[in-house]
Structure 1
Amino acid sequence: MPVTDPRTKARALYDARATRIPIAPFSDAEPDLGMDDGYAVQEQLIDLLLADGDRIVGRKVGLTSEPMQRQIGVDSPDHGPVLASTVYPDGAAVALGDFIAPRLEAEIVFVLGGRLQGPGVTVTDARAAIAGAVAGVEIVDSRIEDWRIRLVDTVADLASNGAAVVSSRVVPLDDLDPRLLGMTLSRNGELVDTGAGAAALGDPVAVVAWLANVLGEHGVALEPGQWVMTGALHAAVPMAAGDVFRAEFDRLGAVTVRVA
C-alpha cells in the first residue's frame, strides 16, 4: 500500500538511515510527487533527527550543474541541512559501513560571517556575508534503492547528503574569485577528475544567494558560522574500502578523506 503522508515517509527514511537498508523510491508509487512534497518530507525527517540530539551546522546545495539538472529533469538546485553528526575533519577516516551506496564530490564550502535572509539577497550581499572559503568534499548517499531517485526522492532524503569532510583553513574572499578556483581530485594517488568553481551555478557565491532567498521564503535565515556547501565540481565518484581521496583547490589548499 503506497505511503502518502509526509510523516510516514520521513519515518521510512529515518529507519533506512539507521538500518542502512534502502527503501523504494516514493516516486514509484506516486509519480506525480514534486519538489514541494519532497521538502514537506524533509522537514519531518529533520525534526526526527534533531529530536535525537543532532543539530544543523550548515546547508548543502545540490543539482547546481546543468548536467545534473538535466539528469534529474529539473531547472533548479535543491538543498538540505548539514548535520553536526555527519561532519569530519580533514584527514579523517570514514567507515564505508556507515553508508549505503556512497559517492564522493569535491566542493567549495563557504563559512558565513554575517546573517543572510531573503528575499532579495543579491550575489553582492552574499559575498559580503561570507567570511571565507574552505576546501571540502561531500559524501553523497541515498537511502533510496540503487540511486533510483527522482526529484521528490532526493529532496526528501536531505538532498542525498551523507557526510562532509572540510579543511580547517578559512581563506577570505578579498582578492579571490571563486568562479576561477580550479580543483583536482585524486584517488589513491591517481587523478580521477578536475573541476572549477564556475561549475556550481556559474558562481559558487550565487549558490549562497539562491539558498538565502529560497530559505527566506519560509522565514529561515543563514546564520553566522554556518557552512554552505555549494555543489559538486565534477561527476560523483564511487567509494570503496581502502580508498584515499585528496581534493586540491587553488588558493584553498587540500582536503583528504580515507575510507575505512
Structure 2
Amino acid sequence: MTSNSAETLSRVVDELLAREGERRDGGKLTDLHPDLDLALAYRAQDELVARKLTAGERLVGAKLGLTSEAKQRRMGIDAPLTAWLTDAMAVTGPSVRLDELIHPRVEPEIVFIMGEDLAGPGVTPERALAAVEKVAAGYEVIDSRYTDFKFTLPDVVADNASSARFGISTSFFDPADLDLIAEEAVLRVDGKEVDRATGAAVQGNPAAALALAANDLGRRGKKLEAGWIVLTGGMTDAVFLHPGQTVSVDFATLGSVAVRGE
C-alpha cells in the first residue's frame, strides 16, 4: 500500500467511525477520495472493524450485503459484498433504540450458524451448506453513514455494508430439513404486509450466498469460522423503522421475528 493509500484508508475509517459515533450521515467518501477503490475499501472495512474490536467488541460472524436484485436496484449497485458482525450489533430484546442510529431500515434474513470452518476458494453451495449446523429466522437493521443511503460500491464496503444491528430467532432448524430456495418470508409493518420474497431472492439460493461469502473471504485470506452467525442477505427491500413502530417477518418454516423502534 502506498503512503497516499494509507492516508486515504485512515481518513476514511476516521470519518466513518465519527459519523457512526455522532449519529450523522454525510456525502460519499469516494467523492473526497477518488483513490478509494474496492480493494482499498475492503482494507478500510477490516481496519474499521479492527478498531471496534480493540475498543472491546467481539467478532461473532459475517454478513452478505446486496445479494438480492431488489436491494441492488434500490441502491444502484450490481454486485453483492461481504462484511463483519460484532456482538455489539446483536439485538437481544424486542426493541432497538433509535437514538443510537441515524436512519435505520429493517430487512428479513435467512441466518446460518456455522458448524465448522469454511474457507474458499472453490466452495460450492453444496459444500457451504454442509458446513452449516443450523438455520434460523432473522432480520438486519441497516443504517448507512451516507446521506439518503447514496453510495458507490467502495463507499458501502468501507462502511461495513451499512451494518448496525441484527436479531435472530431462538428456534433453529437442520438445513437438511429445509427447502431454503422456496422458504418464504412476509415482511410486515405494524401488522400490515409490505413485501414478501423467498430464499431464491438471495443469489438464487441462500447456500450460494454462503459460498460466495466463503470464496470472497478466501481471496482476502480469511474464512468463516465454526460457531459464527452468517446473515445471507436481505430477501426484500428494507423498510424504515420509526419510533413506536414494529417490523415483523413471518417465515413459512423458520418462524417469526420482530423488532420495535424505541
Q: TM-score, normalised by structure 2?
A: 0.93
SS in 2 for 1:40: helix
Q: CA deviation at 1:218?
A: 2.0
Match of 1:42 among 42, 45, 50: 45
Alpha-carbon displacement from aligned partner over 1:232-252 (angstroms, at most 9, x marks no partner): 111110111001111011110
Unaligned runs of 5+ in 1: none
Aligned in 2, Cα 1:236/1:73: closer, same or farther, shift over 3 Å? closer
2:24 aligned partner, one-letter code: I
Alpha-carbon contact 1:72-1:151 (below 8 Å) kept: no
Match of 1:121 in 2: 123
Match of 1:10 in 2: 13
Q: CA deviation at 1:24?
A: 2.2
Q: CA deviation at 1:69?
A: 3.1
Alpha-carbon displacement from aligned partner over 1:74-118 (angstroms, at most 9, x marks no partner): 5431111011001013x5210111110111101101111111011
Match of 1:81 in 2: 84
SS in 1 for 2:200: helix
Aligned in 2, Cα 1:8/1:29: closer, same or farther, shift over 3 Å? closer
Alpha-carbon displacement from aligned partner over 1:9-62 (angstroms, at most 9, x marks no partner): 101111111111223211222456332121121111111111101011111101
For 1:23 and 1:228, how far apart are their aligned partners in 2? 28
2:180 aligned partner, one-letter code: P
SS in 2 for 1:206: helix
For 1:44 and 1:30, how far apart are their aligned partners in 2? 17
For 2:151 and 2:7, how far apart are their aligned partners in 1? 17
Alpha-carbon displacement from aligned partner over 1:180-239 (angstroms, at most 9, x marks no partner): 001111111111111110000000011111111111112211111101101111111011
Alpha-carbon displacement from aligned partner over 1:92-150 (angstroms, at most 9, x marks no partner): 21011111011110110111111101111111111110111101010010111222211
Alpha-carbon contact 2:8-2:36 (below 8 Å) kept: no
Identity %: 37
Match of 2:71 among 65, 68, 71: 68
Aligned in 2, Cα 1:32/1:200: closer, same or farther, shift over 3 Å? same
1:38 aligned partner, one-letter code: A
Alpha-carbon contact 1:100-1:141 (below 8 Å) kept: yes
Unaligned runs of 5+ in 2: 1-5
For 2:36 and 2:200, how far apart are their aligned partners in 1? 31
CA RMSD of aligned residues (A): 1.6
For 2:17 and 2:168, how far apart are their aligned partners in 1? 25
For 1:68 and 1:174, how far apart are their aligned partners in 2? 28
For 2:138 and 2:8, how far apart are their aligned partners in 1? 35
Alpha-carbon contact 1:13-1:23 (below 8 Å) kept: no
Are 1:22 and 2:25 counterparts?
A: yes
Match of 1:216 in 2: 218
Alignment of 1:31-180 (within 5 A): 31=34, 33-70=36-73, 72=75, 74-89=77-92, 92-180=94-182
Match of 1:206 in 2: 208
Alpha-carbon contact 2:95-2:260 (below 8 Å) kept: yes
SS in 2 for 1:195: strand
Q: CA deviation at 1:160?
A: 0.6
